[in-house]
Chain A
Amino acid sequence: MGRRIAIVEDEAAIRANYAEALVRQGYDVAAYADRPAALAAFRSRLPDLAIIDIGLGDEPEGGFTLCGELRAMSARLPIIFLTARDSDFDIVSGLRLGADDYLTKDVSLPHLLARVAALFRRVEAISEARPQEDLLERGPLRLDAMRLVAEWKGQPVALTLTEFWMVHTLARTPGHVKSRDQLMQDARLVDDGTITSHVKRIRRKFAAIDADFDCIESVYGMGYRWKA
């Protein structure tokens, strides 16, 4: 059976385009134009994944509200913010509310589909407890590319998809400098302006577990590298 994806987006053309693209991938898609309609539908049946815009109709923060409400209904439901707002403040707010990823609207359709697929894979991997494959170990770091789970000294680090891919890229070749372009491509980010703040967030997340964490090294003028 096809997985069911809900798109909450007030712009009709975008909603239709994304919906069609997802349908072509074999997903069941339910599209809603505003928060009340979406919420009513979610109460009767939860989707398997939700893609939410932040500004919904006359509610400039409607997406945040909806995300909170959805998270209250299900702790495991993958939620992606897809929005025109790209400020650090909005990204942090979105991720704090429990979204699994935050994409700006200039993401290309293939990237969006890849993210969706990755999120589903993670859900599957977690729920089915399959044998771990595609495992990357660098000292205290363990990256499970299948389930998209990162562990540091045995403790899980709550990385978003973007952050996970960035760590994965860096840790795959320790000591090699990864340029911003490479990181952008691997993490499927669109904008190199946000790389710095992403790296900062990743460092902070690791530092929360281990205050001495300093494996991600800035190589000024070039990029970043994983210090083995």
Chain B
Amino acid sequence: MKPAIRPRFSLRAKLALLSLLLLALPWVGYRYVKEMEALLLEGQRDALVATSRAVATALHDRPQLMQVRPRTSLSSQSASIALLPGEELVEAAPTPAAEVESDQPAVAEVEAILRGLERTTSRIWVVNRDLRVLALAGSLRHDERAESGAAGGNGGERLTGWKGPWYALLARIMPPGGAALDDVVDPDRVATGREVFDALLMGAPASRLSRIADSGVMVVSAAHPIWSGDQVLGAVVVEESTHSIQSLRNRALERLLLLTLAGFVIAAVLVFGFASRLSSRIRRLRDEAEGAIDARGRITPVRTGSVAGDEVGDLSRSFSALLDRLARNQSYLESMASRLSHELRTPIAVVRSSLENLHTVAMPQEAETYMARAEAGLSRLSRILSRMSEATRMEQALATTESERFDLRTVVNECVNGYSVVYPTQRFEGDLPAYPVWVRGAPDLAAQMLDKLVENAADFAQPETPIRISLKFLSAMAELSVTNIGPPLPAELEGRLFESMVSARKRDGGDEPHLGLGLYVARMIAVFHGGTLRAENLETGDGVCMSAEFRLA
């Protein structure tokens, strides 16, 4: 029972997902810039309140202010720009012509003050209690050119190559601050401003941040009442666009975006590289661990990262140690048969030579029977022993055998002819191709392998059924198979049939000892020929087919 494995989700993908957390950085930066912007705006409002206070201070206690006629140039400008007809009306109709000539010098002084305001960097309105505009100075557009020189102006000629999409992207994220600002002179704006009401009605300075209706420009405005005695004569309204702050913010955001993006790319590349390397090492370790025990049951040591100082190295080292122990155990088991036979040979020689010496001594008749039995047992024992060391001998033989190119068909053909002599009671059917089958290896060994397969098939074949030996071409291999009718392979031997000392034989082997080494040797030979050996039940379930593959040469 294997536990269900959850859907495959590689280490690299996980780390890549984790590195997405880095994307929080630009957001944090964005929040920070926003904070800064709010702070700057606050400062600007304070500054504007101070400006309005300063202007109001100059105008306090000058009742003649109310006699000032709006400057023609300004009023005409305001009239021409203001689109509402009502405004024209407000400005033109109640012209206080009667009050104009009352205090000329004072009025002139006030006008001088108001003229002086034109040098300002903000737009300054002076309104009376009726919200009529007495003076308008400055422009919202004042530093546009200076700004564009710093930030937006260079966009024109550089919007080529990769920068085009880049600025397009930036513009999506941050709308350019008041780039398209017209100098909207809209007395309504002033008239409806909350800060103006605050100043006029409550006599308190106030400020607000508002958006000019169509252009989307943010404007900060501050109003301060003008006192004359206890009376509020009017208000000074100072307006300034937030363009400079916005473009500052935009530049900060732009740089932030660029930096964090670059940082993200670098970090992502590093994380990705690290993850790739880590997972490739682990994958290599896995592949090696999987391949460490090959089809023959041979164990090769794991090498990946065996000198690395980290956990993967540790893992690889413990794998190596594990496999090493396994290999030692396995080679002990494999060599046990041959060592056992070697160790047993000496005591058997003692018994044999003693028995043979006994022959020379005169013995009673009954003793002869026992002698014969002892010798029969002994010879069987030594056959077992020589079988046991056969696998080892074959291994040594394989190590020293040179490969040659030979025609497998001839070998198989001769073998099939020979088997009818060796197994007189058994029928054989050969099914060979019409062409030579050239393979690389040793013909002796190939014949020996076929011997083993046929011997095995003959043991299991039901009487009166033929053993089929067929040789046919697969794509790049030749397949030699031996089929017999008989009991199917026991399920518990699935995949273990070709291991050393594994035998499917249940009945007593009679004279010939069966140690389960025959097929083991056969597989060694198949592997020597660059092929494999496998056993499967016939589809009809009444027989077994053993097939060996040979690489064609």
Q: Report A's interface with B, CB cutoff 8 A.
A: 11, 13-14, 17-18, 20-21, 24, 84-89, 104-106, 108-110, 190-191, 193-194, 196-197, 200, 218-222
Contacts and interface: CB of A to CB of B under 8 A. Distances in A.
A222 B419 CA distance: 8
Contacts of B386: 86, 106, 190-191, 193
A197 B444 CA distance: 10
A105 B346 contact: yes
Given A13-B350, A106-B349, A106-B385, A222 B414 contact: yes
Interface in B307-342: 342
Contact of B346 (A84, A190, A191, A219): A84
A106 B386 CA distance: 9
A13 to B, nearest CB: 4
Contacts of B448: 196
B447 A218 contact: yes
B422 A221 contact: yes
A85 B382 contact: no
B354 A86 contact: no
B26 interface: no
Given A89-B396, A219-B418, A220-B418, 13 more contacts: A11-B349, A21-B353, A21-B356, A24-B360, A84-B342, A88-B400, A104-B345, A106-B385, A109-B357, A110-B356, A193-B389, A218-B447, A220-B450
Contact of B353 (A17, A88, A197): A17
B346 A220 contact: no
Given A14-B346, A106-B349, A108-B352, A222 B422 contact: yes
Contacts of B393: 86-88, 193-194
Contacts, number: 104
Given A86-B389, A218-B447, A221-B447, A17 B346 contact: no
A197 B345 contact: no
B301 interface: no
B416 interface: yes
Given A219-B414, A221-B414, A221-B422, A106 B382 contact: yes
Nearest to A110: B356
Contacts of B389: 86, 193
A92 B486 CA distance: 43
Contacts of B87: none
A58 to B, nearest CB: 16
Contacts of B349: 11, 14, 84, 105-106
Contacts of B444: 196, 200, 218, 220
A88 B397 CA distance: 7
Interface of B: 342-343, 345-346, 348-350, 352-354, 356-357, 360, 382, 385-386, 389-390, 392-394, 396-397, 400, 411-412, 414-419, 421-422, 443-444, 446-448, 450-451
Contacts of B394: 193
Is chain B's interface secondary structure helix, strand, loop, or mixed overall? Answer: helix
Contact of B348 (A21, A88, A105, A194): A105
Given A220-B411, A221-B447, A222-B421, A13 B354 contact: yes
A88 B346 CA distance: 19
A18 B353 CA distance: 7
A77 to B, nearest CB: 24
Given A196-B397, A196-B448, A108 B356 contact: yes
B422 A106 contact: no
Contacts of A11: 346, 349-350
Nearest to B451: A221
A170 to B, nearest CB: 16
A109 B360 CA distance: 12
B390 A218 contact: no
A7 to B, nearest CB: 11
B214 to A, nearest CB: 102
Q: Which of A106, A197, A221 has the most CB of B within 10 A?
A: A221
A221 B397 contact: no
Give the 10 A-B residue pairs with the shortest CB-CB distance, closest first: A221-B418, A221-B415, A17-B353, A220-B447, A105-B349, A222-B418, A84-B345, A109-B356, A13-B350, A220-B414
14 contacts: A18-B353, A84-B343, A85-B342, A87-B393, A87-B396, A106-B349, A193-B386, A193-B393, A197-B397, A218-B443, A220-B411, A220-B418, A221-B417, A221-B418
Contacts of A106: 345, 348-349, 352, 382, 385-386
Nearest to A82: B349
A133 B167 CA distance: 113
Contacts of B357: 17, 20-21, 109
Contacts of B360: 21, 24
B415 A220 contact: yes
A54 B354 CA distance: 21
Nearest to A53: B346
Contacts of B417: 221-222
A52 to B, nearest CB: 15
Contacts of A21: 353, 356-357, 360
B135 to A, nearest CB: 119
A90 to B, nearest CB: 10
Contacts of A220: 411-412, 414-415, 418, 443-444, 446-447, 450
A193 B346 contact: no
Contacts of A221: 414-419, 422, 447, 450-451
